[in-house]
Chain A
Amino acid sequence: TQLLEQSPQFLSIQEGENLTVYCNSSSVFSSLQWYRQEPGEGPVLLVTVVTGGEVKKLKRLTFQFGDARKDSSLHITAAQPGDTGLYLCAGGASNYQLIWGAGTKLIIKP
């Protein structure tokens, strides 16, 4: 059974600080995606990484796919209250299914 473990489960920091959240597995994935979900809404896709070692940047967010395609990280620089939300990673498994992590709940305090 393929599993994705996210850490930490919960993170509360002050505005302006940097943070990193992790998504780890013992399985290899063909792709890895990160979504952000705000309270009362559905998840919104932030990025997809497909190549081992790939790094993608989205403004203050930096996403990295591990060399072996088993893990990924999301780094936020100078966090802002608007970054608050639930961050979910999902790995490409079978043709139609994604394997989902349980999420990291992030709170940025002004």
Chain B
Amino acid sequence: DVKVTQSSRYLVKRTGEKVFLECVQDMDHENMFWYRQDPGLGLRLIYFSYDVKMKEKGDIPEGYSVSREKKERFSLILESASTNQTSMYLCASSIVRDSQFFGPGTRLTVL
């Protein structure tokens, strides 16, 4: 069974902290994505990666960075967390753009 796992389901951090969100997929997919999901706004793409060590900005990259050192792992980093980054964060992977497989999400609260 295909699987995308995310390191935490729930996370509470303080303003200014550095936050790491980890995502691992076991499907040998080339493409990986980080989204945030807020009520009424749908999914907004933060960053994506189409190969190891490759990354591209999505629609809302400000305040975030990413790392992809291995094919199966894609990390999202909040350099200095702020309250407006409180959200649900979803990681996905795919072979082609369509048919993305999602992890369960990390609900991040920044106090």
A residues engaging B (CB < 8 A)? Answer: 9, 31, 33, 40-45, 48, 88, 90, 92, 95-98, 100-103
Docked-complex contact A96 and B31, CB < 8 angstroms:
yes
Known: A41-B104, A42-B105. A101 touches B99 (CB 8 A): no
CB within 8 Å: A-B pair count: 53
For the complex with contacts A90-B43, A98-B45, 6 further pairs of A-B residues with Cβ separation under 8 Å are: A42-B103, A42-B104, A43-B90, A45-B99, A96-B48, A100-B43
- How would you classify the secondary structure of chain A's contact residues: helix, strand, loop or mixed? loop
Docked-complex contact A45 and B101, CB < 8 angstroms:
yes
Which residues from A are CB-within-8-Å of B50?
A: 96
Within the complex, what minimum Cβ distance (angstroms) separates A66 from chain B?
17
B12 within 8 A of A: no
Known: A40-B105, A43-B90. A48 touches B98 (CB 8 A): yes
Within the complex, what minimum Cβ distance (angstroms) separates A63 from chain B?
14
List the A residue with the shortest CB-CB distance to B107: A40
| Neighbour of B102 across the interface among A9, A31, A44, CB < 8 A | A44
Complex Cα distance, B101 from A40, in Å, reads: 15
Which residues from B are CB-within-8-Å of A95?
A: 97
- 20 sampled A-B residue pairs with Cβ under 8 A: A9-B40, A33-B99, A40-B9, A41-B105, A42-B91, A42-B102, A42-B103, A42-B104, A42-B105, A43-B43, A43-B102, A48-B98, A95-B97, A96-B31, A96-B50, A96-B97, A98-B97, A100-B44, A102-B42, A103-B42
